[in-house]
Homo-oligomer: A and B are copies of this chain.
Amino acid sequence: MRREFIVRPIDGNFSLKEHIYDVLRDGIMAMDIYADDARLKLDERQLSDQLQISRTPIREALARLEQEGLVRVVPRKGVFILRKSVDEILEMITVWAALESMAARLVVERADDAEIASLRKLLASFGQDEAKTHLDEYSEANIRFHRRILELSGCGLLLSTADSLFLHMRAIRARTMTEDDRVQRSIVDHNHIIEAIEARDADLAERLVREHTVKLHDHVKRTWVEPDMTETDETPKEIAL
């Protein structure tokens, strides 16, 4: 037993606005905002009633969500959950491609062999057979793979910038048609990317990552279906809290 009396400092960041922000963000991400009958309007007072706190921290959380592009607050109209247009999504993918291709280059330059090996292990954990059957699980593994590249780049800003994009990307999966062999081809791409990194070929790794993301870009562009806009925002489907 140690002689000193040691306590770890408590986390003083338990502010309401922080908590509310998480709650609202998770709530928005959990609902299918592209569903035709989705309720896209939020109400500050209603939320303050449900959460039993005042409007102030809610407004701060909403302001933050607005800056991240998840909601739009219109004076004297209301707060609305934003649907991304195809064009916006395509732009996000473009920026993502820029970030991750640069990350791949940095990985080649800075990551050690053990880290690169971890990348391969991440991919190997999901074989081709399972991939076809569990699309959702593959999607998560897919994101983890790409995120890992950004992590290994050693550039935190590269990662955090991309993270703010990933936030918006999860919701689009339901809106893009799935093509039979896309998962297969995706896994092949990933293998090629790892091989280029293992070979320490920065130019090739960068190119492969970029081209891989461009494929997603074109795929979304090709198969995106616009949500039905006939219904507005008055249907009683609540955001899950």
A interface vs B, CB < 8 Å? 12, 15, 59-60, 63-64, 67, 75, 88, 91-92, 94-95, 97-99, 101-103, 106, 155-158, 161, 210
Whether the pair A106, B94 counts as a contact (CB closer than 8 A) is: yes
CB-CB < 8 A to A15: which residues of B?
75
Shortest beta-carbon distance from A213 to chain B in Å: 10
CB-nearest residue of chain B to A64: B67
Residues of B within 8 A of A99 (CB): 95, 98-99
Do A94 and B98 form a contact, CB below 8 Å, given A64-B67, A75-B12, A75-B15?
no
Q: Contacts A75-B12, A75-B15 hold; do A95 and B161 have CB atoms under 8 A apart?
A: yes
A166 to chain B, nearest CB (A): 14
A55 CB to nearest chain B CB (Å): 11
> Can you show 12 pairs from A to B with CB atoms below 8 A apart?
A12-B75, A15-B75, A64-B67, A91-B156, A94-B106, A94-B155, A95-B99, A97-B102, A98-B99, A98-B101, A99-B99, A161-B161
Contact status A102-B106, CB under 8 Å: no
Task: Report how many copies the assembly holds.
Answer: 2
Given A97-B102, A98-B99, A102-B101, A92 and B157 contact (CB-CB distance below 8 Å): yes
Q: How far is the CA of A109 from the CA of B158 in the complex (A)?
A: 25
- In contact, A95 and B63 (Cβ under 8 angstroms): no
Alpha-carbon separation in the docked complex, A106 to B93 (Å): 13
B155 and A95 form a contact (CB under 8 A): yes
Question: Which of A15, A59, A63, A95 has the most B CB atoms < 10 Å from its CB?
Answer: A95
Residues of B contacting A106 with CB < 8 Å? 94
Complex CA distance for A210 and B206, rounded to whole angstroms: 12
Write out the residue numbers on chain B whose beta carbons fall within 8 Å of the beta carbon of A101: 98, 102
Whole-angstrom CA separation of A157 from B68 in the bound complex? 12
Report the Cα distance A216→B91, complex, angstroms.
Answer: 27
CA distance A101 to B75 in the complex (A): 39
A123 CB → nearest B CB, Å: 23
Which chain B residues lie closer than 8 Å to A64 at the CB level? Answer: 63, 67
A94 contacts across to B, CB distance below 8 A: 102, 106, 155, 157-158
Q: Is the CB of B91 within 8 A of A98?
A: no
Q: Give the Cβ gap from A69 to chain B, nearest Cβ, in Å.
A: 10
CA of A237 to CA of B11, assembled, Å = 33
In the complex, which residue of chain B has the Cβ closest to the Cβ of A103? B98
